A = this chain, B = another copy of it.
Amino acid sequence: MATLNDVAAVAGVSPTTVSRVINNYGSLSEKTKTKVFAAMRELNYAPNNLARSLSGKKTQLVGLIFPSVSNPFFGELVATLENTLFAAGYKTILCNSANNADKERAYLRMLAANQVDGIITSTHNLGITEYQKIALPIVAFDRNLAPTIPIVSSDNYQGGRIAAEALVSQGCRHIVMLVSSAETPEPTNDRQRAYADVLQQHHLTPQVTPLGFTTDVSVKRLTIRTLLQDDPTIDGVFCSDDLTALLVLEEAEQLGRKVPADLKIIGYDGTPFMQAYHPELATIQQPFNALGQLLIATLTACIDGRPPKVLAPLPVQLRPGRTLTLDWA
């Protein structure tokens, strides 16, 4: 690897001048700049970022801690984030936490050791104190990590409300909600709260079924199938994510339940992927790009020491589909 000194030698200037060119400071004539750039090209030179960062420059590295990009939801979000970060001159270190506390801890240490400029995270398995120890800019997606850590999210309560009301308005009387975990302090639980509120307002009984965090889909399928089989009165299902809604749709149709006539289904997230490949699924659409932009904007604000303003949840939107059409006939 060519070094700055090599470039200087080839360009016939001093190392300091090369550094001046790289960092664009001091006064420089066009002629020298050209010479230096030519030498860089000739040597295929790239400044050693380790050395640059060691001597004070920012690393321009950002850590992304998400459960797993194998989940299309996070895959799409991470893709958006990476694109935006790249455009802003940042590099992305990917961390799939797998909802594993030890791994998450290891990732935080590692990111600190690598001197990242900031972290965006969407997992939460560690205690608040562990996050407060991190002396790094952090932004959370849909998680309460610590009082000091800004949260970017969309309006989960509103989303839950819209979904529940849609089901009720279309005549559902026995509406079940499927979630991963019934009790968490996370913002996403607002969906569940809203669902319960709406049903109670309509004098209906909320019924929340937790499916757990298992990645084994067959287990989920079985739970869903059993639920539907055991209770033929169920006429509406609200899932806290689209993939689960997909399973409900498939299982319901296999059981001979007519969707949406007998059973109406609505999911949550509405990623571009779902929109493209499963437009039949009604869902609550999160503002995907806006969330990505806001996450990055908030993080860069923290990095640059600008106070992150209080963040309002972004609005969500009902996207109807075959599984829940909106007829006001």
Contacts and interface: CB of A to CB of B under 8 A. Distances in A.
A94 B78 contact: yes
Interface in A77-120: 78-80, 82-83, 86, 91-96, 98, 103, 106, 109-110, 112-115
Interface stretch (A47-55, A154-162, A259-267): A47-55
Given A50-B115, A114-B50, A94 B93 contact: yes
A70 B76 contact: yes
A104 B65 CA distance: 24
Contacts of A312: none
B70 A79 contact: yes
Contact of A217 (B76, B80, B82, B277): B277
A197 to B, nearest CB: 31
Contacts of A133: 44
B75 A70 contact: yes
Q: Identify which of A69, A217, A272 gathers the most chain B CB atoms within 10 Å of its CB.
A: A69
A54 B71 CA distance: 36
A149 interface: no
Contacts of A44: 133
A204 interface: no
Question: Copy number in this complex?
Answer: 2
Contacts of A80: 70
Contacts of A246: 277
B79 A91 contact: no
Interface residues of A, number: 53
Interface in A164-209: none
A329 interface: no
A310 interface: no
A188 B30 CA distance: 48
A193 B247 CA distance: 36
A63 to B, nearest CB: 9
Contacts of A277: 217, 243, 246-247, 250
Instruction: Give the 9 A-B CB pairs with smallest separation, nearest first.
Output: A75-B75, A70-B79, A217-B276, A46-B113, A94-B94, A70-B76, A69-B75, A92-B94, A69-B69
5 contacts: A48-B54, A49-B114, A70-B80, A94-B94, A246-B277
